[in-house]
Structure 1
Amino acid sequence: MSEEKVAHARSGWPMLAVTLLLGVVCVVAIVAGAMMLPPDEAPMTTTVHALGVVLLVVGIVALCVGPVLLLMGFFTIQPNQARVLILFGNYKGTVHDEGFHWANPFYSRSAGSTYDFQSGKAVPKSTKISLRARTYNGEHLKVNDKNGNPIEIADVVVWRVSDTAKAIFDVDDYNTYVHTQSETALRHVATTYAYDSDDGEITLRSNIEEVSAALKDELSVRLEKAGVIIDDARLTHLAYAPEIAQAMLRRQQAEAVIAAREKIVQGAVSMVDMALTELAAKHVVDLDDERRAAMVSNLMVVLCGDSEAQPVLNTGTLYQ
């Protein structure tokens, strides 16, 4: 695997002054050489004429080659940006210093090319790399959770390049690599956990922080080869697949009703026990087992019923 080497480029302002001075000298040489030439259609007979031709040719060649070649060495680097220096295929280092710089004009401006599947053409890879944080919004994926239930899931990943050498030389296209590995990691994490469970285990729906941490760790391992680090990874969408969504909704509703009924029954039993205990303690009424059972039945109906209880007046006795 490649390893980033830090390089430093000289300031571009002194070289800009040298380039301008060289351009002025070339123009002066061209003008001086033109003034030394003989009049039109006159033969060149003196040494001055020959010197004028030399100055004219040298000035034109120097103007076309010198300043143009020097101008190719200028480049700028913005904050959180870097440039990889490649000289005839050899990696020389990475410049992180922001500002206006000048380096060897023969440093490559592209690091090979990568194939773009959308356009079907080879696209050159720039030697300038942004080190800023980037966000990848993943598409909705249909996968099976740990229990085999089809679910829809999507994520958002915040990432940035930390090692420019790995990003340029160890993978073909680090942007595509990040997108592909993000989808693969999300599918793996989705199949590791269940969508929902009553067993107290980590689930996709109830343990968002734990699942996000697992997704971040998975991505960090996969993207280390490309010199990319993950700042954050979160789930942005989680739902059952449409074909089972209605059935799962009914299941959740049934579980909610059962849980609510359980709470109601527990509360009713506690209230009935309290009522019987208070009646016996204060000697309000003495109840035998049959009457106690009837009171418990009536109280449970009143406390656990969905609708209001309708009182019935008994004109007789419990035994008639």
Structure 2
Amino acid sequence: MSDIREREVKSISGIPLLLILLALTAVGVFVFINVAMTKEMRLIVLVVALPILLIAFSGLYKVEPNQSAVLSLFGKYIGTVRTPGLRFNNPFYTKKKISLRVRNFESGKLKVNELDGSPIEIAAIVVWEVNDSAEAVFNVDSYESFVQIQSEAAIRSMATSYPYDQHEADQISLRSHPVEISERLRTEIQDRLAKAGIHVIEARISHLAYSPEIAGAMLQRQQAGAIIAARKKIVEGAVGMVEDALEALQEKDIVELDPERRAAMVSNLLVVLCSDKATQPVVNTGSIY
């Protein structure tokens, strides 16, 4: 495939030419009506002058702001005009208008398997624009369809490279690192769309969830993980509190405990501190020994 890149081509302002052509048309009509001519001469004027005027008028075209006109002559790329307004070029040029405005594409919910193999639903929003109109016209059949298909392919590829949830402290996951995932997604889509003259401004995930058939099980898994993490924190805090209590008793010489009663005290304190329900104290009215 030949590498066609956009190049700017000069164009003439169309307003002066439009006025000139309108004036010539008015003069031609006046002469045709008021000047004495034979039928043969009138026929010659119609056959010659009218096609010339129509061809000249066909060289006029309008370019909107944030729009470009890709010019070609009998299949050969001539250049691109980005100057807005009424323009004039060779009437035989084919002119294809390309919008340069920023556009959004939102994918549908795609069902893929993430890195751990769990089925998930994912969707993304892609913000893009055409930055090379020649590549957009000549390198692909339909650049808008190309953006849609390649963006969805990039979303699928990216989703299979990361787990849904973070399992390790330094691991990047789809749910816990939205900034890193968005940048990776933008880069992957840009790599696929570069040949079509497309610049990807932004790409971000708009929907992320487990597939309905495993959503319940995964919710229980997340809840279990949260409970385990909370219990771990509670135990770490309780051990520190028990350690501080024993050190304070020893420093202030309040009571001397043998190893057996020391172990019993540690056990009782941990039960009180780690229990998820209110504990009922038992007061010992006899001797500690």
TM-score by length of 1: 0.85
Question: What secondary structure, in the 3-state scheme, does the structure 2 residue paired with 1:158 have?
Answer: strand
Instruction: Give the partner amino acid of 1:311.
Output: P
1:214 match: 184
**Aligned equivalents of 2:184, 2:156: Cα separation in 1:** 12
- From 112, 115, 122, the equivalent of 1:146 is 115
CA drift at 1:135: 0.7
Question: What secondary structure, in the 3-state scheme, does the structure 1 residue paired with 2:286 have?
Answer: coil
Question: What secondary structure, in the 3-state scheme, does the structure 2 residue paired with 1:160 have?
Answer: strand
1:255 match: 225
1:57 match: 43
Gaps (5+ residues) in structure 2? Answer: none
CA drift at 1:297: 1.7
1:27 match: 29
1:40 match: none
Question: What secondary structure, in the 3-state scheme, does the structure 2 residue paired with 1:262 have?
Answer: helix
**Aligned equivalents of 1:180, 1:202: Cα separation in 2:** 26
1:114 match: none
Cα contact 1:83–1:96 (8 A) shared by 2: yes
1:161 match: 130
Structure 1 residue 15 and structure 2 residue 17: aligned?
Answer: yes
Cα contact 1:5–1:93 (8 A) shared by 2: yes
Matches within 5 A, 1:1-320: 1-33=3-35, 36=36, 51-61=37-47, 64-109=50-95, 127-199=96-168, 200-319=170-289
CA drift at 1:58: 4.1
For the pair shown, the structure with the greater C-alpha radius of gyration is 1
**Aligned equivalents of 2:285, 2:75: Cα separation in 1:** 107
CA drift at 1:169: 0.8
Q: Deviations over 1:203-250 (max 9, x none)?
A: 111122222111111111111111111111111111111111111110
Gaps (5+ residues) in structure 1? Answer: 37-50, 110-126
Question: What secondary structure, in the 3-state scheme, does the structure 2 residue paired with 1:249 have?
Answer: helix
Instruction: Give the partner amino acid of 1:17.
Output: L
Backbone CA RMSD of aligned residues: 1.6
Cα contact 1:8–1:97 (8 A) shared by 2: no
Q: Deviations over 1:283-311 (max 9, x none)?
A: 11222222222221221111111111111
